């Protein structure tokens, strides 16, 4: 069963009910009406920019997109890219691509022109939908992209090198195209985070998308009465697959632009959100804003908020202890996943296991997991090894990269590249990325463990630990530390705090600086390694 069947079911059963809301507190607008065919009205008032569509309109929009693609000669298996910020058009375009039998290829909105061109060529992109934020980037590579690709502009004032999406879909049929989709049909290509260089293209079948939707709805018991607040970018599997729990349930979701604490709490309050997925930095910002008095909980209606869950990165137990102290009635969950496993849920903690905060959990619904050594043999309980997962959400391959595929897919198991261990109760703890492990004087140091310890310092806002070159030990642990606003901290304070760790784990270098994170909240450690290589490290020590 393809995921598009749920959209058509929701149109039939809940057609007049709200499916999606777009909310942008940084823009102003007083509209609270159904999204029209050609909606270019400019914001005119003090109210936050807000648009909404019903399930019926959602499905009609998807059908129009599918019919547009088919009319323009797009065939089953062709690749159609989406390069857009989160907006009300994003998901109908995605589902329209699927309904046409084509393969949806979401692009990271942070890509440079070179990265856009690289990914378009890697994935054999035939068509692209893009938003106004990307006109300059697309224009700079338009000749290299090639005239055989269709470019549809989703916005006002269409550039001359593209066609206006709004004008074209007005004249397309709103009925479903006669395209039969099967579970084993190719559905989507997602890109890896590019932590080892340029991204790899990850191919998934329709079976993967359906599996992800059912996993999400099962894990968080998403019901018709729930309202899901979606903040992360929709190009990422995590955001979209968490939203698919709402698709299965037929319930409303809100796409929020902006991550300030007052925006998030305001959206929860005004839209009556019950489920919110946060990244670690956003949760920390909310707690800090409450602590420093810049937001006041009594200004918001939050009693309906039942679940806060976090994914995309290791979660410091100290953060969850702080959260539960302020929101004692919240259920909490954490989800582990990769784009190669269609996003979140192949391992998850479960709301009933709050006593195991710090673990990523147990195999998710419909998933298997194991931890193996360098030879692929299972390790003993309590020993560290590489985490492997198996289930219907595992990718088909790295598109056009059989060598990389063979490295991570073995007998149906996906080798994640993450180092993990399992405790006596069967709960899996993420130790670190295999590539991030620091070997210092023959000892394995796991940055995540050191980061978790340092985040407990009351002045530390964020921290990243990386390996730095050392002539005697090979590598040493260096901690890049971001201090909370309004606080000051010395290296001596941090070193004194670190005496609570075994001596060999203590970072040998402390650098006070911002910790860069990507759009999904992951620390950009390759960037930090480039920034703090041996030359930069020497300059830092010399006060340059």
Query: pLDDT tens for residues 231-270?
Result: 989 998 888 899 999 999 999 999 999 999 999 999 999 9
Question: How high is the pLDDT of residue 30?
Answer: 47
Q: Does some domain include residue 276?
A: no
Q: Does some domain include residue 265?
A: no
Contacts (Cβ under 8 Å, ≥6 apart) of 263: 25, 256
Of 477, 419, 471, 474, whose CA–CA distance to 445 is shortest?
Answer: 477
User: Cα separation of 491 and 139, whole Å?
Assistant: 47
Question: Please, are residues 96 and 74 in contact by the beta-carbon 8 Å criterion?
Answer: no
Cα dist from 178 to 60, 70, 96, whole Å: 14, 10, 13
Contacts (Cβ under 8 Å, ≥6 apart) of 293: none
Helix (H, G, I), strand (E, B) or coil at 73: coil
Q: Does some domain include residue 152?
A: yes
Q: Examine the domain organization and report whether 86 and 205 are in the same domain.
A: yes
Q: Does some domain include residue 30?
A: yes
Q: Examine the domain organization and report whether 354 and 447 are in the same domain.
A: no
Of 378, 401, 433, the last residue of a domain is 433
pLDDT band at 441 (very low <50, low <70, confident <90, very high): low
**Over the stretch 121-157, which tens digit does the pLDDT of each residue have?**
999 999 999 999 999 999 999 999 876 689 999 999 9
Q: Does some domain include residue 35?
A: yes
Question: Please, are residues 55 and 8 in contact by the beta-carbon 8 Å criterion?
Answer: no
Of 276, 337, 247, 301, whose CA–CA distance to 1 is shortest?
Answer: 247
Q: Examine the domain organization and report whether 378 and 467 are in the same domain.
A: no
Share of the chain above pLDDT 70, in %: 90
Residue 124's Cβ-side half-sphere holds a number of Cα atoms within 13 Å equal to: 10
pLDDT band at 523 (very low <50, low <70, confident <90, very high): confident
User: Cα separation of 209 and 205, whole Å?
Assistant: 7
The number of domains in the chain is 3
Helix (H, G, I), strand (E, B) or coil at 384: coil
Q: Examine the domain organization and report whether 423 and 465 are in the same domain.
A: no
Of 125, 101, 129, 96, whose CA–CA distance to 191 is shortest?
Answer: 125
Q: Examine the domain organization and report whether 313 and 240 are in the same domain.
A: no
pLDDT higher than 60, residue 196: no
Range with the poorest average pLDDT among 43-57, 101-115, 242-256, 302-316: 43-57
Share of the chain above pLDDT 90, in %: 66
**Over the stretch 421-430, which tens digit does the pLDDT of each residue have?**
999 999 999 8
Range with the poorest average pLDDT among 144-153, 319-328, 394-403, 420-429: 144-153
Q: Examine the domain organization and report whether 28 and 164 are in the same domain.
A: yes
pLDDT band at 312 (very low <50, low <70, confident <90, very high): low
Helix (H, G, I), strand (E, B) or coil at 458: coil
Q: Does some domain include residue 475?
A: yes
User: Cα separation of 245 and 239, whole Å?
Assistant: 11
Report, in this order, helix, strand and coil percent for the chain, each rounded to 5.
Answer: 35, 30, 35
Question: Please, are residues 239 and 230 in contact by the beta-carbon 8 Å criterion?
Answer: yes
Residue 524's domain spans which residues?
A: 437-541
Which CATH number does the domain housing residue 328 bear?
2.30.38.10
Q: Examine the domain organization and report whether 170 and 75 are in the same domain.
A: yes
Burial class (CB in 10 A: 0-12, 13-18, 19+), 411: exposed
The pLDDT of 48-68, averaged and rounded, is 95
Q: Examine the domain organization and report whether 425 and 522 are in the same domain.
A: no
Q: Examine the domain organization and report whether 249 and 347 are in the same domain.
A: no
Of 224, 258, 292, the last residue of a domain is 258
Of 458, 388, 451, 393, whose CA–CA distance to 422 is shortest?
Answer: 388
Q: Examine the domain organization and report whether 361 and 496 are in the same domain.
A: no
pLDDT higher than 70, residue 357: yes
Q: Examine the domain organization and report whether 312 and 421 are in the same domain.
A: yes
Question: How high is the pLDDT of residue 485?
Answer: 87
């Amino acid at each position: 069963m393809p995921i598009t069947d749920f959209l058509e079911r929701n149109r039939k059963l809940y057609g007049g009910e709200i499916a999606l809301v777009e909310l942008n507190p940084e823009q102003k607008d007083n509209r609270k009406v159904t999204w029209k065919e050609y909606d270019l009205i400019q914001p005119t008032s003090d109210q936050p920019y807000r648009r909404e569509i019903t399930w019926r309109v959602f499905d009609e929009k998807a059908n129009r997109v599918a019919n547009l693609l088919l009319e323009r000669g797009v065939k089953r298996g062709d690749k159609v890219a989406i390069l857009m910020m989160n907006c009300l058009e994003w998901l109908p375009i995605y589902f329209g691509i699927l309904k046409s039998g084509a393969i949806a290829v979401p692009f990271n909105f942070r890509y440079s022109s070179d990265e856009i061109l690289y990914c378009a060529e890697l994935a054999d992109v035939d068509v692209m939908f893009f938003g106004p934020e990307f006109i300059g980037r697309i224009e700079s590579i338009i000749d290299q992209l090639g005239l055989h690709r269709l470019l549809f502009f989703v916005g006002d004032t269409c550039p001359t090198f593209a066609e206006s999406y709004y004008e074209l879909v007005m004249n397309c049929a709103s009925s479903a195209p006669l395209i039969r989709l099967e579970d084993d049909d190719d559905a989507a290509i997602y890109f890896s985070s590019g932590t080892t260089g340029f991204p790899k293209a990850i191919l998934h079948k329709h079976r993967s998308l359906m599996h992800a939707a059912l996993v999400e709805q099962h894990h968080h018991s998403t019901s018709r009465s729930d309202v899901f607040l979606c903040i992360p970018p929709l190009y990422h599997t995590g955001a979209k697959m968490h939203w698919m729990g709402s698709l299965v349930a037929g319930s409303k979701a809100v796409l929020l632009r902006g991550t300030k604490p007052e925006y998030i709490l305001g959206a929860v309050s005004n839209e009556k959100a019950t489920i919110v997925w946060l990244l670690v930095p956003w949760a920390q910002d909310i707690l800090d804003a409450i602590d420093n008095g810049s937001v006041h909980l009594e200004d918001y209606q939050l009693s309906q908020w039942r679940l806060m869950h976090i994914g995309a990165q290791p979660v410091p137990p100290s953060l969850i202890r702080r959260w539960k102290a302020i929101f004692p009635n919240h259920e909490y969950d954490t989800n582990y996943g990769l784009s190669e496993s269609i996003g979140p849920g192949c391992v998850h903690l479960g709301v009933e296991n709050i006593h195991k905060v710090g673990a990523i959990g147990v195999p998710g619904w419909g998933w298997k997991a194991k931890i193996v050594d360098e030879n692929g043999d299972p390790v003993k309980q309590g020993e560290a090894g590489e985490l492997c997962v198996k289930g219907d959400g595992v990718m088909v391959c790295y598109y056009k990269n059989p060598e990389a595929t063979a490295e991570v897919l073995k007998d149906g198991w996906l080798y994640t590249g993450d180092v993990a261990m399992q405790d006596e109760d069967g709960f899996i703890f993420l130790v670190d990325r295999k590539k991030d492990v620091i070997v210092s004087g023959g000892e394995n140091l796991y940055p995540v463990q050191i980061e978790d310890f340092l985040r407990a310092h009351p002045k530390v806002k964020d921290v990243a630990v990386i390996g730095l070159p050392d002539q005697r030990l090979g590598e040493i642990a260096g901690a890049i530390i971001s201090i909370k606003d309004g606080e000051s901290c010395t290296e001596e304070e941090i070193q004194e705090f670190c005496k609570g760790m075994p001596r060999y784990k203590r970072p040998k270098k402390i650098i006070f600086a911002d910790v860069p994170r990507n759009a999904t909240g992951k620390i950009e450690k390759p960037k930090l390694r480039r920034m703090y290589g041996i030359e930069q490290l020497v300059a830092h020590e010399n006060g340059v």
